[in-house]
Amino acid sequence: MMHYKTKPEIELMRNSALLVSRTLTEMAKVLRPGITTLELDKLIGEFIRDNGAIPSFLNYRGYPFNSCTSVNDVVVHGFPNKTELRDGDIISIDIGVIKERYHGDHAYTFAIGDPGPDVWQLIRVTKESLYKGIEKAVAGNRVGDISFAIQEHTEKKHGYGVVRELVGHGLGTELHEDPQVPNYGRRGSLQKLKEGLVLAIEPMINLGKRDVYTESDGWTVRTVDHKYSVHFEHDVCVQKGHADILSDYSIIEAAEKANPHLFSGN
Ligand code: MF3
Ligand code: CO
């Protein structure tokens, strides 16, 4: 069942999404070679609770951490651990909160030091594809229009692998609501988009082949060819004539640019 949010509900959801953006901004400030993902996860939990919210991933279907920290060939759902990040690593940090009953859920991929031109292009193109998908999240379009736009830009245009097993989703008082939002598909297919539908749109794009597998921990998803994978996620509300992006990359990007340990383009 699809849930269409009222104006006041959308503002609560914007608050939740922005708390995730602010948490990711804290990450953009502290990321550096030598820090561990477990240290990041601890800071994430503290920041969320200090802001009157709950980390929503913790205990979700038994997930044991505040955040997902997916490094290099890990696609999504990477467990925070005691391994130090190194120059040339990339890390997707995916964070969820519940505040005043509503979920925020979004993600950003950072590069520690210089990841090299091929990986940087993958990061740039994946982020671009997210915005191309968001452009289609307007009333009257269909879910497949979003899917098609993402696949066109990443797979058709750049030859990257689009992960099939994991998809974006509706968001609200539940972390995962209808509809599913695949990152591949046909224009004009799937459900019709109506005003007030909130979606977490999240391309997961591989430098090499699209194939992935889940590790024996039951969560960590990796590329089969062990090439790098990138993940960006925004929370978006469908409106008439435009998509309202509830989360905010501008504060994350400003902190990313100000951090000399992070690559943010030439
Ligand atoms: N952004 C991911 C998703 O929407 C986060 C889920 S991680 C989990 O599926 F730990 F909560 F499962
Ligand atoms: Co999500």
Residue 204 alpha carbon to ligand 2 centre in Å: 11
Q: If you measure from the C-alpha of residue 266 to the centroid of ligand 1, how many angstroms do you get, rounded to a whole number? A: 32
Q: How many helices (H) and strands (E) does the chain have?
A: 5, 16
Task: Tell me whether residue 215 is in a domain.
Answer: yes
213 lines ligand 1 (CB under 6 A): no
Q: Residue 224 sits in a domain of what CATH number? A: 3.90.230.10
Q: Which tokens go with 236?
A: 């978006």
Distance separating alpha carbons of residues 110 and 125, to the nearest angstrom? 14
C-alpha 57 to ligand 1 mean position (Å): 6
pTM higher than 0.95, yes or no? yes
Residue 250 CB burial class (10 angstroms; 0-12, 13-18, ≥19): exposed
**Residue 265: inside a domain, yes or no?**
no
The kind and range of the H/E element at 107 are: strand 102-112
CA dist 146 and 163 (Å) reads 15
Domain limits at 147? 7-258
Cα gap 25→14, rounded to integer Å: 16
Residue 95 lies in a domain: yes
Token pair 């939990």 in the structure block, residue: 45
Residue 63, ligand 1, Cβ within 6 A: yes
Q: Kindly state the tokens that stand for 74.
A: 């890990």
For 219-233, what is each residue's pLDDT tens digit?
Answer: 999 999 999 999 999
In a domain, 32, yes or no: yes
The b/e string for 25-48 (b: 16+ C-beta within 10 A; e otherwise) is: bbbbeebeeebebeebbebbbebb
- Tell me what pLDDT residue 266 has: 66
Residue 62 within any structural domain of the chain: yes
Could you tell me if residue 29 is inside a domain?
Answer: yes
Taking 3-state DSSP, the helix, strand and coil percentages for the chain, each rounded to the nearest 5, stand at 30, 30, 40
Is residue 251 included in any domain, yes or no? yes
Question: What is the distance between the alpha carbons of residues 182 and 164, in angstroms, rounded to a whole number?
Answer: 7
* pLDDT value of residue 265: 87
Low-confidence ranges of the chain (pLDDT < 50): none
The answer to whether the peptide bond before residue 179 is cis (omega within 30 degrees of 0) is: yes
C-beta of 59 in contact with ligand 1 (< 6 A): no
- 89 contacts: CB under 8 Å, gap ≥ 6: 71, 72, 111, 112, 113, 115
Q: Which residue, chain included where needed, has tokens 């069942």?
A: 1
> How many domains is the chain built from?
1
Q: Of 140, 132, 148, 133, which Cα lies nearest the Cα of 241?
A: 140
200 within domain boundaries: yes
DSSP three-state, residue 141:
coil
105 lines ligand 1 (CB under 6 A): yes
Cβ-based neighbours of 49, under 8 Å, separated by 6 or more: 55
